Structure 1
Amino acid sequence: MSESLDGKIAVITGAASGIGLAATRRLLDRGATVVMVDWNEAALAELAGKLGDRAIPQVTNLLDVDSCNAMIPEILAKVDHIDILYCNAGTYIGGELTETTPEAIDRMLNLNVNAVMKNVRAVVPHMTRRKTGDIVVTCSIAGHFPTWWEPVYSGSKWAITSFVQGMRRQMIPHGVRVMQVSPGPVVSALLADWPEENLRKARESGSLIDAEEVADALEYMLTRKRTVTIRDMLVLPTNFDRV
């Protein structure tokens, strides 16, 4: 049974591009108000102007400790409650461990793991008081098996899978659902350095999915009746054979 998102208030991180923007558009189309969180102030202002009054910009740099800590309080000064927190912002490092730098590792873990944990920690008291809420995190299929070609990224997503599934159990008595969506390779800014021809061939061969497919999964998860939790949804390109 599908439930309505009309009138819900959602917070989406990394909302100015990729999966976050696709999710924003989908929830707006379904009647929700979306607080769009991103560090790119100019992009947020432009998008909010195009998307309408129910798209509320929130400039936050999740890699800045003070900015990250202020995110939920600043949002609650703009809206009176939060029904949905979608922790989507993240970054990617591929290749062998020795090919990256300690600084890049710190950046990835701070964004993919630490910021998620801090955002969830900040919203949990609010949702617990209201005895309802949905928390969704963008994980990855790399968080489900040892992806030897991207061990730093995979390690961050394994950590998040453990965190989400632990928090799901903690929040059951409080009426708060905690879920994750685990996409395969998605056409996004993370593939910005790919030649257009390579992207075209990968799409046509079924080796990539569009961000809208992840938004489809998110919508399905959020619209189940409250007695149902989709704990994790894996969304794979049909031609992806590494799992």
Structure 2
Amino acid sequence: MAESLSGKVAAVTGAASGIGLATTRALLDAGATVVMVDYDEAALTRLGGELGKNAIPQVTNLLDAESCSAMVPGILEKAGKLDIMHCNAGTYIGGDLIETDTATIDRMLNLNVNAVMKNVRDVIPHMMERGTGDIVVTCSVAGHMPIQWEPVYSGSKWAITCFVQTMRRQLNKHGIRVGQVSPGPVISALLADWPEENLRKAKESGSLIEPTEVSEAIMFMLTRPRNVTIRDMVVLPTNFDI
């Protein structure tokens, strides 16, 4: 039987668009309060007005060390507690490695890997003290197999798969569930650098999914009874072929 999320407090990074926004909406609909973490202040202001008082905006730049370190304390100051942490923010690099400059590689690894590890590290003491909590990380099907056309992105997601599954084992004895959702291609800003022809063909062939189809998987994970942990959910477009 599904557990209620009414009265719980969640934080979602990358909450102003894509999977993060879809998850925010789903959590609000389920009765949770959501701290929406994003660097886009204008988008957060607009969405806060649209989504209501239970959507609390927090401007955080996860690529800035000081801003990243202040994230969890800021959430706790605003909301008082944190039951759910959804580490969702990320970026994408496709193409051959030689086509990518090293500054872009650094930026992606800092956001996709380092920020996730730091955010999880910072929220653990609060959840351990309370003896409960859920940490969900947005990973990717690219974290389960080598995708030859995205070696940097795929490498970052392999790192996250390892991190999530080791943290699951470290934290389960403290009442904290840790899991990941691993989507295939999602219609979002992460595909902004896809060639238009590739994007068009993927849409026409049914090889992309909507952010809401990922958020539904996340909600399933979060609403399982506490004796159940969903360690990973791979969510693919039916016609996606890798």
Pairing of 1:1-243 with structure 2 (within 5 A): 1-193=1-193, 199=199, 201-242=201-242
Aligned residues: 242
Aligned partner letter, 1:210:
E
Query: Structure 1 residues 91, 29: closer, same or farther in 2, change over 3 A?
Result: same
- Secondary structure, counterpart of 2:80 in structure 1: coil
Query: Structure 1 residues 200, 25: closer, same or farther in 2, change over 3 A?
Result: farther
**How far 1:194 sits from its partner (Å)?**
5.2
Cα offsets for 1:164-200 (capped at 9, x unmatched): 0000000011000000000000000122355778645
Query: Structure 1 residues 198, 151: closer, same or farther in 2, change over 3 A?
Result: closer
Unaligned runs of at least 5 residues, structure 2: none
Determine the C-alpha separation between the residues in 2 that align with 1:55 and 1:237: 30
Percent identical residues: 74
- Secondary structure, counterpart of 1:77 in structure 2: helix
Aligned partner letter, 1:183:
P
Aligned partner letter, 2:26:
R
Q: How does the TM-score come out when normalised to structure 2?
A: 0.97
Determine the C-alpha separation between the residues in 2 that align with 1:88 and 1:207: 22
Q: How does the TM-score come out when normalised to structure 1?
A: 0.97
**How far 1:206 sits from its partner (Å)?**
1.5
Aligned partner letter, 2:71:
M
Determine the C-alpha separation between the residues in 2 that align with 1:192 and 1:103: 19
- Decide which moves more: 109-118 or 185-194: 185-194
Determine the C-alpha separation between the residues in 1 that align with 2:46 and 2:194: 26
